[in-house]
Chain A
Amino acid sequence: MNYINLFRSTLPETALEIAALLVLFVDLGFLRKAARATRIAVAAVLGIAGCLAALWAVSIAGPFSAGNDLLLSAGGSAGVAQVAVLALTALTLLLLIDSDFTRNPGEYVAVVLMAAAGGLLISAAQDLLVIFAGLELLSLSLYILTAFAKQSGKSAESAIKYYVFGAMSAAFLLFGFSYLYGLTGSTNLHEIALAAAVGRAASATPLLYIALVMVAVGLGFKVAAVPFHLWAPDTYEGAPAPAAAFIASVSKVASFALLVGIGTAFFHVFDNLHRGVLFVRFGFPTRYLGLLAPWELILTVLAVASMIFGNLAALAQSSVRRLLAYSAIAHAGYILLGLAFFSWTNVSAQAVLYYIVTYGLTTIGAFGVVGVVERAVGSDRLEAFLGLQKRNPLLAAVMLVLFLSLAGIPPLVGFWAKFNLFAAVLRTSGGALPFTLVALAVLFSAVSLYYYLQVLKRVYVMPATDESPITARPVTVAVLVLITAAVVVLGCFPALLQSWIASFYPHP
């Protein structure tokens, strides 16, 4: 164990933790008498500074191993996810500046930064213990953030629901981990995959499958896959808007990055054995090695259930936040499809990251608009958006772009994300099953257009019941315009983001 190396690898997390402490110190130490707006602004700015420092640290952090076991990876998928986690965290902190749900901005920002640190950890984690520690750091912070609007009953209710579900799924996850450790004798993902493929655990398949299902329960909860999604609508509805945006974006990015990491580890089972590499590259049935087949099966089931249920349930929603929650479940379904048919090369990893990063960006914008409308109208029902194009044309335009992007309409980035992801699935594996599932996914995105248009119909088509203008504050407007511009530009020039993501991977 080399502590200098450990420090270097965890520099981004350390930067975030220091920033968190600094925020608390400044807010509680110097600004207790200051106006609330000042306190919020100072806390958010300090938090963003922490994110920027961590961004810089990510670029110099290296992988970390204890002995032969890799604990934290660097670069590649982990690198992309970490940069995305930090950038999206900074955006949600910017949204905080204009909100007024809390009298404790210092604590809020500190918890956000700790959650982001958890996100960074699980994006890079290669070891069951690190994964669990990171996940819990992230989850516990999210429960607190959900409950942060202390004067709102809904916020408290959704937090307790979220917490109960989360605690249970964490128990499942830990139970699964304990089986994996017991069967393979290691907590390292690569060791586990190797042992499951050729080692002593290969014969214990039923138990291995049970372990994998348990793990899938825990991780399925994090990404809100059906049937572990029940917390999502309530949490999205009850949490204060910046916190909901954080849960919907940063936490999703980190969790999917973890799934990408696990998939990659399972796939590159033989990377450490020279003979094995040849083995895999020349004709050995790579798709059905060790943990891969059951893992892919589980992910496929979750993906199909999420796509179908998420899209159908979203049709019936009358609250925009709940609608976004169910649509998030549907999007998780598409992404899980990309993970279920994972590729030996990093095509799938890149496609999944492209999807989740752009999705996270779009969702933050969507919650930004919802937050502004909620503050003006006092509700997030569909009716609250009536005549928005008259009340605030800019917000309406932002809403139009973001929702159409979520529906996957070109020339917006959501369309590219979907195309890229589905193309990756089909390029990875031929055959009837992946094709049928992609066809299903494409058809369900046609269904999704209906509910996105239901919102846009309120915004643009139906007459307003109240025509008084809604004003948004400048920082929020700036963030929303920035996100919208990014959605359009990245949609028109998709190669920009693709080559940026590809630049994290070593060139073959």
Chain B
Amino acid sequence: MLAWVIYISFAGALVSVLLPKDKPALARRWALAVAVAGLVIAIAGYAGGFGQGREVIVDALWVPSMGIHYMLAADGISRVLVLLTGIASVAGVLFSWNVELRTNQFFALYLALIGGVYGVFLSFDFFLLFFFYEIAIVPKYFLISIWGSTRREYGAMKLALYSFVGSAMVLIGLLAAYATAGSHSTALIDLAHAGLPVSFQMWCFPLVFVGFAILAGMWPFHTWAPTGHVAAPTAASMLLAGVVMKLGAYGCLRVAMGLFPHGLDPWGFSFIGIGSWRDVFAWLAVIGIVYGALVALAQTDFKFVIGYSSVSHMGFVLLGLMTLNQIGLDGAVLQMFSHGVIAGLLFAIVGRIVYDRTHTRQFAELETMHLSRRLPFAAWAFVVAGIASMGLPGFSGFVAELQVLVGSWRANPWWTVVAGVGIIVGVAYIWRALQKAFFTDALPTPHELESEEEHKFAPICWSEMAGVALLLASTLVVGIYPRILLDQIEPAVKALLAGGMQ
């Protein structure tokens, strides 16, 4: 049944194109209906998945001459990420309620992107996974370049080319693994069983890992992320940070680490303390955590702060993957969910609730607007979201980052020490953004008060409240009762650690 999330998203996209152009309200409602249907199926699939392990949903021979299977399956990790996609897609539609330009096309591309994302999370055939992965590239380009803001054409093209180069690397890895395995099948399980030689895994692993990690925002290949996020319309930046970056991290975990586990073995020599690809990528992740946080601290554009914070938080995911122990990997998967929800919330507040009313994201201008008084809802929502993003207890980020740090301490304490610096800087940049954007010291002058009376901001509408409530509830539920996700993540991670994809 879970497979229907893919089909209804693509069907919804197709119908959306054909909807009449001059009825934006209809397109909106349709998109919301499709997204909600996807979420309902995702929740049902998730609830039905407790204690199930890996279930195969469909397995049909797609291209017999090449042994390509149309194989959809789900384990705990997939189900968590499908659930995340469902939540993010509904929230994204809610926060795009005010899109008036070419609305039906907007939601068509939006739903096509969602369909591709669902597809990646449910594919258990390398080829099929890659297929869906590439489908997700083109809608991103058009969503950003048509409906975006700041330097949108540049941001969109940069994002499309980074994604495509990343996927080209994955494709090379796919072709190489297929030719080397000679098993005449591209199913992940068959490839994992093919006994790929260690020397092959040694060079194919970094190739595929980096190919996926580009999309996960790994430093130094992260530069598409801030520009892309900033240029994107709100719903697209929510999806980009919320689920598309997870595609990359998921690919790293499922494909690169699952198929080429020996790629992580020590090289047999070490250079300044780095003796394996694992060390290389772990340090890149740690650098990403600290670098993203420091750069976020120096931004003058509100949305860039959130954009760089995504780089920092995705660093935790990659670091968690490289710990190679149960708790670290649990943390990484949980962090994917957590960051997906929290980044979505932050982007929604900045891009929709604030920007669409103030028409600026520069701190210097926001400082003069006294938003805490004029937009109290936005201010308090951002306070709560900021606290969640800092990783305070009670929110999902806390559980996730704590697990990653514990895992990385067991693997290499120095990683934890440096990553810890990133957390502290993380508090600082959220604090700074909060103060500059909402809680300035300067009291309004009488003249300003007058002009505020004249230009009242539009009131917060129901869709914004619903979206904020949905995302906040998700992070709170997981923060207070993390077992709800961990019960599914743990067995899946255990299976993955025990034998790669086998």
In the complex, A442→B167 CA distance in Å?
10
Our pick among B63, B137, B157, B176 for the contact of A409 (Cβ within 8 Å) is B137
B470 at the interface (CB under 8 A from A): no
* CA A499 to CA B66, docked complex, whole Å: 11
Check: B64 CB closer than 8 A to any chain A CB.
Answer: yes
Interface residues of A in 446-463 (CB under 8 A from B): 446, 449-450, 453, 457, 460-461
A411 contacts which of B131, B145, B146, B167 (Cβ < 8 Å)? Answer: B131
Say whether B168 contacts A495, CB under 8 Å: no
Do residues B146 and A461 form an inter-chain contact, with CB atoms below 8 A?
yes
Partner of B131, one of A410, A445, A450, A460: A410
Q: Which of A386-418 contact B (CB under 8 A)?
A: 404, 409-411, 415
Q: Interface stretch among A180-188, A204-212, A357-365, A421-429?
A: A421-429
Residue of B nearest to A449 (CB): B164
Asked if B175 is at the interface (CB within 8 A of a chain A CB), the reply is yes
Are B63 and A415 in touch, CB under 8 angstroms?
A: no
Residues of A within 8 A of B130 (CB): 410
A438 cross-chain contacts in B, Cβ below 8 A: 172, 175
A404 interface neighbour in B63, B138, B165, B179, Cβ under 8 Å: B138
**Quick check: A498 and B65 within 8 Å, CB to CB?**
yes
Say if the beta carbon of A494 comes within 8 Å of chain B: yes
CB of A430 within 8 Å of the partner chain: yes
Q: Answer yes or no: A502 CB below 8 A from chain B CBs.
A: yes
CB distance from A60 to the nearest CB of B (A): 27
- Is B168 within 8 A of A445, CB to CB? yes
Are A495's CB and B179's CB within 8 A?
A: no
In the bound complex, how far is the Cα of B131 from the Cα of A502, in angstroms?
A: 24
- Verify A426–B178 contact, CB threshold 8 A: yes
Give min CB distance, A365 to chain B, whole Å.
18
Q: For chain A, residues 474 to 502, give those with C-beta under 8 angstroms from any C-beta of chain B.
A: 494-495, 498-499, 502
C-alpha spacing A142/B4, complex, angstroms: 51
A190 to B180, CA, bound (A): 33
Top 6 nearest A-B pairs (CB, nearest first) are A426-B179, A446-B168, A461-B145, A446-B164, A410-B131, A442-B168
Query: Does any Cβ of A come within 8 Å of B141's Cβ?
Result: yes
Q: Report the Cα distance A410→B178, complex, angstroms.
A: 18
> How would you classify the secondary structure of chain A's contact residues: helix, strand, loop or mixed?
helix
Q: Which residue of B lies closest to A450 (CB)?
A: B161
Q: How far is the CB of B160 from chain A (nearest CB, A)?
A: 6
Q: Report yes or no: A423 in contact with B66, Cβ–Cβ below 8 A.
A: yes
B168/A410 in contact, CB under 8 A: no
Within 8 Å of chain A (Cβ to Cβ): is B209?
Answer: no
B233 to chain A, nearest CB (A): 13
Give complex CA distance A423, B181 in Å. Answer: 12
Q: In the complex the two chains form, is B165's CB within 8 Å of A495's CB?
A: no
Measured CA separation A450–B165 after assembly (Å): 11
Are B172 and A446 in contact, CB atoms less than 8 angstroms apart?
A: no
Contacts of B153 in A (CB 8 A): 457, 461
- Count of chain A residues near B, Cβ 8 A: 30
Residues of A with C-beta under 8 A to B138:
404, 409
Interface of B is mostly: helix
B343 to chain A, nearest CB (A): 26
Complex contact A449–B171 (CB within 8 A): no
Indicate which residue in B137, B167, B179 contacts A423 across the interface (CB closer than 8 Å). B179
Q: Quick check: is B135 within 8 A (CB to CB) of the other chain?
A: yes
Interface hub of A404, A435, A449 (most chain B Cβ within 10 A): A449
Closest to B146 in A: A461
B interface, CB within 8 angstroms of A? 62-66, 127, 130-131, 134-135, 137-138, 141-142, 145-146, 153, 157, 160-161, 164-165, 167-168, 171-172, 175-176, 178-180
Residue in B65, B160, B178, B179 whose beta carbon sits within 8 Å of that of A449 in the complex: B160
Asked if A450 and B65 make an inter-chain contact with CB atoms under 8 angstroms apart, the answer reads no
Contact of B175 among A415, A423, A460, A494 (CB under 8 A): A423
Chain A residues with Cβ below 8 Å from B62 are: 494-495
Q: Could you write out 11 A-B pairs with CB less than 8 Å apart? A: A410-B131, A419-B171, A420-B66, A426-B176, A427-B179, A442-B175, A446-B164, A446-B167, A453-B157, A457-B145, A495-B64
Choose among A430, A450, A461 the residue with the greatest number of B CB atoms under 10 Å from its CB. A461
Contacts of A277 in B (CB 8 A): none
A439 adjacent to chain B (CB < 8 Å): yes
- Interface contact A430-B134, CB-CB below 8 Å: no
Tell me whether A433 is interfacial, beta carbon within 8 Å: no
Contacts of A423 in B (CB 8 A): 66, 175, 178-179
Q: Find out whether the CB atom of B175 lies under 8 angstroms from the CB atom of A426.
A: yes
Q: A225 to B66: give the CA distance in the assembly, Å.
A: 29
Q: Complex formed: what's the CA distance from A474 to B139 in Å?
A: 30
CA distance A410 to B137 in the complex (A): 10
Nearest CB on B from A438, distance (A): 6
New A-B pairs, 9, CB < 8 Å, besides A409-B137, A442-B172, A446-B165: A409-B134, A410-B130, A411-B131, A423-B175, A430-B180, A442-B171, A443-B165, A446-B161, A495-B62
For residue B64, which residues in chain A have a CB less than 8 angstroms away from its CB? 495, 499
Are A460 and B168 in contact (CB-based, < 8 A)? no
Closest to B144 in A: A461
CB distance from A314 to the nearest CB of B (A): 15
Closest chain A residue to B66, Cβ basis = A423
Asked whether A450 and B146 contact (CB < 8 A) given A410-B134, A502-B65, the answer is no
Closest to B65 in A: A498
Residue from the list A411, A419, A426, A442 in contact with B135, Cβ < 8 A:
A411
**Are B65 and A435 in contact, with the CB atoms below 8 A?**
no
